Structure 1
Amino acid sequence: MRRYPYQRFLQLDLTLLEQLHYSVLHRPYWTLKRWCDRLWHSKLVWRWIGEPLHDRKYAPWAAFSPDTNAPVITNPNQIACRTQHGVATVRWGCAGQTTSPVSARNALLPDGTRGDVQNRSMMSWWRRKGSGDKRWLIGDVDIRMTDVVFGDRASQDLKYDPPAVEVGAQLERDLALHRPFVEALADDEFAAVAHHMLAHLEWMQIGAHEIGLFEGLHDMFACLRNKGEDYLDFKFGDYPGDAPTKAMAAKHVLRMKEMMRSLGWRTYTADELQARTREDFRARVERRLEAWWQLDAYEARPADSYDRLSKTPLISDMLLYEGDDPAWLDELRDEERLATSAQFVVRLKDLANSGRVTASEFERLFQALL
């Protein structure tokens, strides 16, 4: 929802019949589907069955040109291809005639063994699996006609400079210079919980109205951890290690809140969240009421003024979001009650099916239902 600091979900009250229908049919189906998806993408099945089938369709083999050091593209519409280099293979991303290497398999590593390497093109380096304190080792790749050779870089340390005071990212600067926080980031579980809290909650300075802003949250985590990760690992939630248990997550949440409090930062209290929820509810009612007032003018138009729209919106009273109190509906005035009732949806549906509104007008009115 807009103007709300956390992700919220619609509250849907299911009838007993709907609950039974979901329990008997949908829940077993989605449970089986999730199990099959996990099996299909498991390391062994995907490596030997899933990936070869996928590559055969979406990443066909291509000839490699030593003159351009790139694959020879014969189909400008293909999105990927593979080239063979002795025992090593390179996967390329394609955009028309432009190609860039994405990853390599069976590349020759510095210790003489072979393994998989990834191209982090946004970071201008390649990387391979590390060990110990390093999840990844950064390096460069030499793609040859008969082999792919990976070499480690001399320095594996990532450079990070906290934002200057005048930039305005005071929260990022406070955390980057707070040694207990930096040391705690070495724990994979704490790093995952802390990143999720900073990415999805709004933080305010205690005693002030300044909202904590981040110029580079993901990059800060990758660099301060210094384990060979980059900002993409955190931007897309590809957190290291296994997900923490609920008990451990709660422990890390408490630890993070204590750190933030010691730095002079806090998130919303329960009363503040309730006030913002109520404010958002009133804004949705006003938006819906304003659209309700427009329906009379649309209904006065002759039928078939425009193309009929086969629209079937869910006919129900105004949906409530997580945190909304159903008792608030009882406090509405008479006209507000009509605007928030299913009658709004019925009138809107009739307008669409009778050709009295354009597609853009329907969409604008439909947005008032959300």
Structure 2
Amino acid sequence: MEENNLSHRPTRRGSSERARRRRMRDFNRLTALLLAAVILVLTLVNLLVPDREFSENENRMLTVFPKPSWSDISDGSYMSSLSSYMTDQFVGRDNWISFKLTLDKLLGKREANGVYLGKEDYLIGIPSEPDWEHVDRNLQAINAFAQSHSDLSIHMSIVPNAACVLSDFLPQNAPVRDQRADLAALQSKLDSSVAFIDVTEDLTAHASEGLYYRTDHHWTTLGAYYAFLSMADSLQISDPLLNYNKYTVSDSFSGTLASKSGCHAVQDSIEVFEPLGTDVQYYVIYSDTHEKSASLYQSAYLKEKDQYAVFLGGNHPMVTIRTTNNNNRSLLVIKDSYANSLIPFLVPYYEEIILVDPRYYYDSVESIISSELITDVLFLYNLDTFLGDTSLADVLVQ
């Protein structure tokens, strides 16, 4: 009988297991309470902190609280908008993004939101896939334009991205699109009357000198300068100026790639080059604001997020630069933002330069060609922009 009673007594091991389970239950309850408290606090803080309209770090507008409507609720779009709002307005969003990026880097990740985290703190945009339908449409329009303007000297230069020129700075074994092959494909489809200027090799020869910003997708002023030298002969610019005073106008530039990736480890410097050995004067006219300026630079933008807009005040539908030259050479540049930092190198060699950005210009360039007595045309784009452009053909239509 006594033996039977002993067999039902709890063992020390069983007591220890039950105690461990109680501790686990207590821990889980405490964790759940702490998590609920954190969520409650964050929710209350989110309700108390005013919404932000713009993110300086991401350089974009943030989602505002969506107004509900029956149609949006019924098709599910309202919940999607509400989710975007909660994500964008989450308190401490910038700090969370930086924390996640730091954690990803510690885990060996070398890409963030379409940006490679390269060597020596270079952020390098991953080239996008081309929109060949629009590329072919644009090339056909360029060829037709060239054939109908055989009296003009027409050139094209498509500039490769940092991923191509700065390939040594990419993360090891990072897959990247062959932009040299893309450039060759573009050139093969151009009419022979369009002189294609490939600056890739000349840029690559100076790759270690800082030709692209570490935090932005644009080339630096030095990169634009080497490209200008590469273009000069084809543009019939004899004896291009080689001597410049160089001024650093900012050492706090954090560009588009820093915004896109969330990586703000370094900041860039922006330089402007003042040519020596020329007495050519000029003034600039902006078509959209009707503003006239005696400078190619707008220093007010150095206080803004997009400091690259110091060059010509960023992008405008049309900009006219009139100089004191009297050589009867007028250049039409059909371009994207890459051209903005290269234009100062071209000014001493033309009587007039007109810049047209097809993304914002909605007329045909034919009226410009006839009214301004254009003699030369230069298509100047970054390769990524050109391969995704949907506007160029429209401005070439007669």
TM-score range, shorter chain: under 0.3
Kindly name which structure, 1 or 2, has the bigger radius of gyration based on alpha carbons.
2
Higher relative contact order (CA 8 A, sep 6+): 2
